[in-house]
Amino acid sequence: MLDLDGVVYVGPAAVPGAAQNLSRARTLGLRLAFITNNASREASVVAQHLTELGIPAAADEVVTSAQAAARLLVDRWGQGAAVVCLGGPGLAAALGEAGLIPVAVDAEAVAVASGYGPDVRWAEITRVAIRIRDGLPWVASNTDATFPTPDGLAPGHGVLVTMLSSFTGVQPLVAGKPERPLLDETVRRTGGRRPLMVGDRLDTDIAGAHRAGMASLLVLTGVTGLPELVAARPDERPTYLAPDLAGLVEAHAAPVRATPGRAGSTAGWAAGGWSARVDDGRLVLDPTAPDAAVDDWWRAAAAAAWEHLDASGDVVDISDLDVPDPTPPAR
């Protein structure tokens, strides 16, 4: 189950090597699903975009937070129920696809569904806020505070959710990551038996996998760097770690205990050709083989840093480290 932005593409371009690595994964028998918290686009539009980037995808391989929100509504009120739609065309399409009837903000309805929509008007927000305050149940597609644009980060649907919650005193039922409905809906649609969540964000992708009780792979082609990685809480730590999507088709060196360093250091960890330890609060890494791989530097670093954080409550000092680029040219 692949997150999109920061994993498969960054902005308008595919992540280097993504098309080749996903093709290899399919050849090896992995079934792929592309999932997104973005509720504004229909699954068919997302699939077309991926195909244009050289990553063939069908609409039924894409699952959006809007579709997961629609599932929550159908499970509670059944098909044929009228639902206020506060969002873009992707949300309206998902409601209709699920057998619900999307209606305007003043119409009779059993609930309101909200998602990002660039053309949502203030008058619509005001009316929905009043109806939620007065008791209309509310399902939100996601709570992402930002989303990427060519001009940098822009306010996401989470900003609207915060505003509505502040006014109404109501917290919505949320479909998107890190909540589990989107992941559960993806498993339901694909029939996956050993799901693996692949993402670049600790607080949504990896935390969502923990909540859904599934394994996860963190790739370093998106927003997570070493400062975020070493500070990850237990419920944000991935099962696997790789620089990019080659991690789907390559063996991973599992970190193992290494010989302790000098007095004052913790027992270290080793992965592949690297060992890592914490000396007086500082993270230290040393190569143990001439051909030590960058992938294993990051795995050893994470293992040592997390052990120190759990034992002391302190995030390791990484200011002295020469941090290798985790994403060299496409593999």
Please indicate, yes or no, whether residues 74 and 142 belong to a single structural domain of this protein. yes
Q: Which of 280, 329, 331, 328 is nearest to 308 (CA)?
A: 280
Q: What pLDDT was estimated at residue 192?
A: 84
CB contact set of 292 (below 8 Å; sequence gap of 6+): 272, 273, 274
Does residue 108 sit within a domain? yes
Two tokens at 219?
Answer: 């790739």
Q: What pLDDT was estimated at residue 149?
A: 74
Does residue 42 sit within a domain? yes
CB contact set of 126 (below 8 Å; sequence gap of 6+): none
Does residue 331 sit within a domain? no
Domain end call among 248, 280, 300: 248
Q: How far apart are CA 325 and CA 172, in angstroms?
A: 40
Phi, psi values for residue 210, rounded to 5°: -60, -45
Does residue 2 sit within a domain? no
Question: What are the 10-residue block averages of pLDDT along the chain, 331 residues in total?
Answer: 95 93 97 96 96 97 98 98 97 98 98 96 98 99 85 89 98 98 96 94 96 97 95 98 96 84 64 94 93 94 97 97 80 57
Q: What pLDDT was estimated at residue 245?
A: 98
Does residue 298 sit within a domain? yes
User: Structure pTM?
Assistant: 0.91
**55-102 residue pLDDT tens:** 999 999 999 999 999 999 999 999 999 999 999 999 999 999 999 999
Q: How far apart are CA 157 and CA 134, in angstroms?
A: 22
Q: How far apart are CA 117 and CA 156, in angstroms?
A: 9
- Could you say which of 5, 184, 244, 296 is catalytic? 5
Q: Sign of torsion, CA 125 131 134 135?
A: negative
Phi, psi values for residue 82, rounded to 5°: -85, 130
Verify whether residue 3 is a known catalytic residue: yes
Please indicate, yes or no, whether residues 77 and 154 belong to a single structural domain of this protein. yes
Q: What pLDDT was estimated at residue 112?
A: 99
Residue type, 52: E
Express the helix, strand and coil content of the chain in percent, nearest 5 each. Answer: 35, 20, 45
Please indicate, yes or no, whether residues 74 and 219 belong to a single structural domain of this protein. no
Q: Which domain holds residue 303?
A: 256-312
Q: Is the peptide bond before 178 cis (omega within 30 degrees of 0)?
A: yes
Q: What pLDDT was estimated at residue 153?
A: 79
Please indicate, yes or no, whether residues 80 and 134 belong to a single structural domain of this protein. yes
Please indicate, yes or no, whether residues 58 and 185 belong to a single structural domain of this protein. yes
Please indicate, yes or no, whether residues 187 and 55 belong to a single structural domain of this protein. yes
**231-244 residue pLDDT tens:** 999 999 999 999 99
Please indicate, yes or no, whether residues 169 and 187 belong to a single structural domain of this protein. no
Q: What pLDDT was estimated at residue 289?
A: 87
Residue type, 296: D
Residue 216: left if φ>0, alpha if ψ -120 to 50, beta else—which one?
A: beta
| Helices within the chain (DSSP H only) | 18-27, 43-52, 65-77, 89-97, 122-133, 157-168, 181-190, 207-212, 226-230, 294-312
Verify whether residue 244 is a known catalytic residue: no
Please indicate, yes or no, whether residues 113 and 190 belong to a single structural domain of this protein. no
Q: How far apart are CA 107 and CA 35, in angstroms?
A: 31
Q: What pLDDT was estimated at residue 263?
A: 43
Total structural domains within the chain: 3
Does residue 214 sit within a domain? yes
Whether the CB-CB separation of 161 and 143 falls below 8 Å is answered with yes
Please indicate, yes or no, whether residues 150 and 14 belong to a single structural domain of this protein. no
Strands 282-287 and 274-279: antiparallel
CATH (domain of 214): 3.40.50.1000
Can you name the residues that pair with 283 across neighbouring β-strands? 278
Does residue 160 sit within a domain? yes
Q: How far apart are CA 301 and CA 307, in angstroms?
A: 10
CB contact set of 164 (below 8 Å; sequence gap of 6+): 114, 125, 128, 129, 132, 138, 170, 172
Please indicate, yes or no, whether residues 193 and 105 belong to a single structural domain of this protein. no
Does residue 322 sit within a domain? no
Q: Which of 36, 62, 37 is nearest to 141 (CA)?
A: 37
Q: What pLDDT was estimated at residue 239?
A: 98
Q: How far apart are CA 288 and CA 131, in angstroms?
A: 63
Please indicate, yes or no, whether residues 156 and 235 belong to a single structural domain of this protein. no
Please indicate, yes or no, whether residues 110 and 163 belong to a single structural domain of this protein. yes
Q: What pLDDT was estimated at residue 188?
A: 95
- Could you tell me how many helices (H) and strands (E) the chain has, helices first? 10, 18
Q: What pLDDT was estimated at residue 260?
A: 59
Domain end call among 196, 226, 248: 248
Q: How far apart are CA 31 and CA 25, in angstroms?
A: 8
